[in-house]
Amino acid sequence: MVVSAPYGMSKKKMVEFAFENKAWVLTHLEKLEKQEQQRKQISASAEDEMLLLGKSIKVEWKESHTDRLTYHQNDDTLKIVAPLSIDKKELKTIVYKSLAKRFLTPAFWKIQREIGYPMNKLYIRSQKTKWGTCSGKRNISLNYKLVKCPEAIQNYIIVHELCHLIHMNHSPKFWALVKHHYPTYKKAEKWLDEHQEMLFLV
């Protein structure tokens, strides 16, 4: 582990800071350890597994003799038929984007109808660090990687972005509105914080 400190800070001051903030340090060390375990799990089995709706499913690869990619998904297996000359990670990204449109689109519009906030368009996109965005034109974008998350987490992100149609910020009023529509939002935030690195790596 590498410890960073402002230039000129003595080792004594660093040790004092660590002891004064022991709980914070231990919490972050635990988080880093979990992330490292996730990385090891991913590197060991990433090629033949995918995450879908919060579950790890086995990927069965079959070579296609055309340029076409097809897939068939059941509860615990995903069969991908594709030209295996293409990088498997790239193939999985294509499948993830297809699955995201299949699962996220109907879920989004169902919740939007229930909440009733008027909006314009929904986009399923690739976003590097955000799970969703809401524009001033009342368009909402969801990260296709959200399809890897359990349905309850997907629903939270959808509610979160819909609430931005009313408050384009993260003010207390915004969080009060989120809580009104999704009372357990803090648990969802915690889950995302604990799993985000794994979700973006796979």
pLDDT score for 128: 86
Q: What are phi and psi of 113, to 5 degrees?
A: -65, -40
- Mean pLDDT lowest among 52-61, 104-113, 191-200: 191-200
Instruction: Give the separation between CA 115 and CA 135, rounded to whole angstroms.
Output: 18
Q: How confident is the model at residue 152 (pLDDT cuts 50, 70, 90)?
A: very high
Strand order across the 132-134 sheet? 122-125, 140-143, 132-134
Q: Quick one: pLDDT at residue 40?
A: 47
Contacts of residue 95, Cβ cutoff 8 Å, sequence gap at least 6: 50, 69, 71, 78, 80
Give me Rg for the CA atoms of the chain.
Answer: 21
From 32, 22, 73, 29, select the one nearest 51 (Cα to Cα): 73
Q: Could you tell me the domains of the chain?
A: 11-201 (3.30.2010.10)
Tokens 């340090």 found at: 25
Instruction: Give me the helices (H) in 79-171, please.
Output: 88-115, 151-163
pTM recorded for the entire structure = 0.77
Q: Residues 5-62: pLDDT tens digits?
A: 565 667 677 677 767 777 766 665 665 566 555 554 544 446 899 999 999 999 999 9
